[in-house]
Amino acid sequence: MTELMLRVENSISGINAEAWDACANPISSQIANRPAPSQCGASKERESKLGVGYNPFISHAFLSSLEASDSVRARVGWQPMHLVASDREQNVVGAVPCYVKSHSRGEYVFDHGWAEAYERAGGSYYPKLQVSVPFTPATGRRLLVRPGAGAEAVRAALADALIDICRRCDASSVHVTFPTEAEWDLLGSRGYLKRTHQQFHWENADYDSFDAFLEALSSRKRKAIRREREEALANGISVHWLSGSDLTESVWDAFFAFYMETGSRKWGRPYLTRTFYSLVGKKMGDRILLVMARRNGRWIAGAINFIGSDTLFGRHWGAIEHHPFLHFELCYYQAIQYAIEHKLARVEAGAQGEHKMSRGYLPIETYSAHYIVDPGLRRAIDDFLKRERAYVLAANEELAETAPFRKG
């Protein structure tokens, strides 16, 4: 392998955007393309596991918007410490989005119990290193490597370098959340503990319309969804898809009001600033789908999605008026409809939520990997993860038996 030079950057602004994206999203030709209907089956499933294709969240545009808007900074417990690997010619060949954390909020992989147990035993769980996209429970590459000879060796070197950095900065652990399955396996081979999680995703079975999707469901579920969609829009509500130049500052003002209203109730601390939406809208508005509801001449609710090469990623929603089933309409049914019309292979609607199953979203595995420095804590967590994985797999199998689709 070519000799690597490793460095740490305390802001992504210190890394050339083109160089970062050449590692994060190297298949640039897929950014503007949508998969044909024939691509929505097994080949796309395999592609997803390998992590191939454009992912909006690991782009320089998205990550830099988080930092430049002060949504991510040391003062809120997310100090950027991005790892960069260069070859002898100073070409960036690898990168890792990494943060020093002083808490466990905004990760969607829960280790609060580990932290509390370690603190009770006299240890210091924080700081820790977090390899992730902040506030974003979506699977994607985490060990970002430019394609070419030696790419796998670079990826392994990045995994090992994270452990070295962890020890040098006296952190308790490294946590790589929502990596691809291939990265998860690699990290396991480098000494990281492997963890399994559950999400609910919708898969496109080459549907040519929303009605075609409904026909694949059992009669009871089909009728329930039709009723929910009718009731959601019963009070003079219209739904609009906004993207690109549609994303004006007045639209963002409205959506941010929804985000703050619902986020303050649901989570207690919304993570994103108003400036973030302006920045990300300007930098990558064509990769954003804002599903907005309007009533009596004003916006009343909305859901934000990001568009990958084959996946629609639902993130968060908010509302200033309550209407039955409007959340399901904006977040789930409109996302499915958009994916069908734009020939996308799947919809990932975020973390958790068994209620998504009756609406066509099925349980799947997601992953994380954890390097724990303290031997005693490592043994305890390893034992816990083995039992947890058995539970998650059994739960997924049991849930699959209750899928809303017609049998046979």
Domain definitions of the chain by residue range: 5-200+364-400, 203-363
For the stretch 52-105, pLDDT in tens is 589 999 999 999 999 999 999 999 999 999 999 999 999 999 999 999 999 999
For the stretch 285-294, pLDDT in tens is 999 999 999 9
- Supply the pLDDT for residue 121: 96
- Supply the pLDDT for residue 268: 60
pLDDT at position 335 over 60:
yes
Residues 163, 171: Cα–Cα separation, whole Å: 10
CATH annotation of 203-363: 3.40.630.30
pTM: 0.93
For the stretch 289-308, pLDDT in tens is 999 999 999 999 999 999 99
Residues 375, 373: Cα–Cα separation, whole Å: 6
289: region left, alpha or beta (phi > 0 left; psi from -120 to 50 alpha)? beta
Q: What is the mean pLDDT of residues 4-15?
A: 97
Query: One-letter amino acid identity for 254?
Result: A
Q: How many CB atoms lie within 10 A of CB 76?
A: 17
Do the beta carbons of residue 210 and residue 148 sit within 8 Å?
no
CATH 3.10.20.30 fits 5-200+364-400, yes or no: no
For the stretch 349-371, pLDDT in tens is 988 778 888 899 999 999 999 99
Ordered strands of the 82-86 beta sheet: 5-9, 82-86, 92-96, 144-145
Residues above pLDDT 90, as percent of the chain: 84
When the pLDDT of each residue in the chain is averaged and rounded to a whole number, the result is 92
- Residue 174, judged by CB atoms within 10 A of its CB (0-12, 13-18, 19+), counts as buried
- Supply the pLDDT for residue 49: 41
- DSSP string across 298-354: EEEEEEEEEE-SSEEEEEEEEESS--TTHHHIIIIIHHHHHHHHTT-SEEEEEE--G
- Supply the pLDDT for residue 2: 65
Dihedral sign (CA 226, 229, 232, 234): negative
Tokens of 300: 């009343």
Closest CA to 349 of 315, 317, 302: 315
Closest CA to 313 of 297, 290, 292: 290
pLDDT at position 162 over 70:
yes
> Would you say the CATH fold of 203-363 matches that of 5-200+364-400?
yes
109: β partners: none
